[in-house]
Amino acid sequence: MRIKWFSFVRIAGLLSVLTYHFFKNAYPGGFIGVDIFFTFSGFLITALMIDEFFGKGKFKLIAFYRRRFYRIVPPLVLSVLVVVPLTYLVSPDYITGLGRQIAAAIGFTTNYFEIATGGSYESKFIPHLFVHTWSLAVEMHFYLIWGLLIAIVTGIIRRLNINLKTKNHLFRWSIGIISLGLAIGSSILMARNSAGLSDFSRVYFSSLTHSFPFFVGATLASLTGIKYVTAPFDWLLKKSNAWLVTIALLLTFFDLGMLGLQLQFTNRTTYTGGILEASVLAALAIFLTRCLHNATPNVNEPKWATFIADISYSMYLYHWPLFVIFSKLMSVPEAALLTVIVGVPFSALSYYVIEPLIAGKHPRVLKNVKLSRVTVPLTIVTVGLIAVATYTSVKAPNLTSLEQNLWVGGLKQSVDQMTTTKDVILASAKPKQVFAASSGKIPKGASIIGDSVTLGTRDYLGKNVKDSTIDAKGERTMDLAYKVMIAQQKNGVLRQNVVISIGTNALDGTDKQLLKLIHDLAPGHRLILVTPYDQRAEPDWNSSKLADFERTLPKKYSFITIADWQKMAAKHPDVFKGTDGVHFAGRHEGDVIFAQVVNDGLKRASKTPLKSDA
């Protein structure tokens, strides 16, 4: 039984996700499209389970798993095979760890693979081509666990010595109570586990914390249904007015759209209620479309809507890797358009031809065509694609060029820190030795404290900034930079000019942390602030706001100088071509420009006074 208008719920989810990935700055909360899909899946699967039990008096677990396999796995494998050859159009960085990515995607463990490897849904460095399959992992985990739970409940109820009507009522209410309890538990777990996090990817990816949208949908299914509906809902269906339901449905979609504009991935409120609100609104949309189905018996769903809904799953699979590849070759709008142009026909081929063939059915679109005419060329192409995917996975690098650069920089830094530590220990052990740490004299030169941008150019920077020491680390925030500065200050190794290159990882309150750093910097030092640069950043991003705040400080503090990396980097966009827009991946021209900014800042700082005791 196909319900008219359900297609629009799927379309809302797909449009939300596509808009978010294509134009993230314009629609920052579009990731709720995944939760619309989750809620719809939870409703549909559970409603079909109820229909199966009511119609046959049992639930076949293996048959359920088989249907899920044929619906999910073939399109996924096909999308991987189609995408891999296209990676040769871009940098080898984009196939880093490709074999592991593919294994995680097909093994439905991408969510935990990303947690384990420090991945982020709002990608850092080079984005994983199949990071979006985290949602398939969560969905598959739901199917496995929920199917098993329903099978257990079914087995218990079937053994009870009660009439069929009572068994049906008990089955429905058991599902409702269990799904409501799991929805509440999972949402509370997400809210609680999000406390104190600066990167929310671990609670976003986890099946435990992000499964509640499925159970919101399942709870709705127990209260309504598809074929076998509850008595109260049946009464409501008979009373439904098409115009009123349509208006309510449009308002619900509008609320979902507005929520997508308001939510931020980096905001904790998203995890303490935002995603739950999206799931409840999605459930309301499902409820209203189910009502609209009965209220419009003489109106057919538009064929274009049915088509988009049919290919929505496959389109979700194709859109992200295609967009990642195309966006490195052309502008974002052009890449978005080409992604749709390429993705739609492949998605249609998958749904209308490949999936039926794998399931042992004759595709309806090929009813007048001999299957051998289709299966033979498809088999040959598939074998070829498998060969390309295998070769590419074997040859794929284990680290991106940026990660290699950061790794080498980190090793060299560790050696330097060991040397510095040894000097401090020797100085304290030999009081007569003239050394800054024991004499109290501030060393000349520059102490550079930075994040991954600084770490990436550390080798060049150390050779081209006179009398400098460098302490840099990936994902370093201002509060962590403060701790490094204070530790160096206490050990007497903090040099006269202190360069702080922090900010691309700026969190809320970074300006207050910077003021604390300024206050606790000892007299006798100058402070040079390197403004952060992120090619993707809008004016309201924390990194942009920090740069603006830093520029106001020299007027208040005479010992502060600005080294404006943000403005200089913006003049050299080619340095960031094919990167994440923050790091220049060890490119020599980037090293030169960054070192120039630091040296210019130090030169201007030399003409300013040191911090005084006043």
- Residue 22: both structure tokens together: 């294509």
The CATH class of the 401-605 domain is alpha beta
How many other CB atoms are there within 10 angstroms of residue 613's CB atom?
Answer: 6
Per-residue model confidence (pLDDT) at position 318:
96
Lookup result for tokens 């449905």: 249
Q: Which helix (H) or strand (E) holds 526?
A: strand 526-530
**Is the confidence at residue 433, as pLDDT, over 50?**
no
- Indicate the residue type of 76: L
Task: State the pLDDT confidence band at 587, using cuts at 50, 70 and 90.
Answer: confident
Across-strand partners of 499?
448, 528
pLDDT in tens, 328-363: 888 889 999 999 999 999 999 999 999 999 888 888
Nearest of 475, 501, 478, 487 to residue 562 by alpha carbon: 501
Across-strand partners of 429?
none
Q: Where are the beta strands (DSSP E) in 342-478?
A: 446-450, 468-472
Helix (H, G, I), strand (E, B) or coil at 382: helix
**Is the confidence at residue 37, as pLDDT, over 70?**
yes
Rounded average pLDDT over 144-154: 96
- What's the burial of 357, exposed, middle or buried (CB within 10 Å: 0-12/13-18/19+)? middle
- Indicate the residue type of 157: I
Q: How far apart are CA 352 and CA 311, in angstroms?
A: 9
Q: Please report, for the chain, the start and end positions of each structural domain, with discontinuous segments joined by +.
A: 6-395, 401-605
Per-residue model confidence (pLDDT) at position 134:
95
Nearest of 16, 25, 509 to residue 275 by alpha carbon: 16
Sign of CA dihedral 197, 199, 200, 202: negative
Per-residue model confidence (pLDDT) at position 438:
46
pLDDT in tens, 519-559: 999 999 999 999 999 887 778 778 889 999 999 999 999 99
| Of the listed ranges 120-134, 250-264, 422-436, the one predicted with least confidence | 422-436
Per-residue model confidence (pLDDT) at position 120:
61
Per-residue model confidence (pLDDT) at position 435:
44
Task: State the pLDDT confidence band at 437, using cuts at 50, 70 and 90.
Answer: very low
Residue 399 carries which DSSP code?
A: S
pLDDT in tens, 371-428: 888 888 889 999 999 999 999 999 887 765 555 555 555 555 555 555 555 555 555 5
| Percent of the chain scoring above 90 in pLDDT | 66
Question: Beta strand pairing status for 526-530 and 497-501?
Answer: parallel
Helix (H, G, I), strand (E, B) or coil at 392: helix
Residue 541 carries which DSSP code?
A: S
pLDDT in tens, 295-320: 999 999 999 999 999 999 999 999 99
Rounded average pLDDT over 567-595: 84
- Indicate the residue type of 9: V
478 phi, psi to nearest 5 deg? -65, -40
**Is the confidence at residue 291, as pLDDT, over 90?**
yes
Q: How far apart are CA 442 and CA 523, in angstroms?
A: 10
Task: State the pLDDT confidence band at 436, using cuts at 50, 70 and 90.
Answer: very low
- Residue 440: both structure tokens together: 């109290």
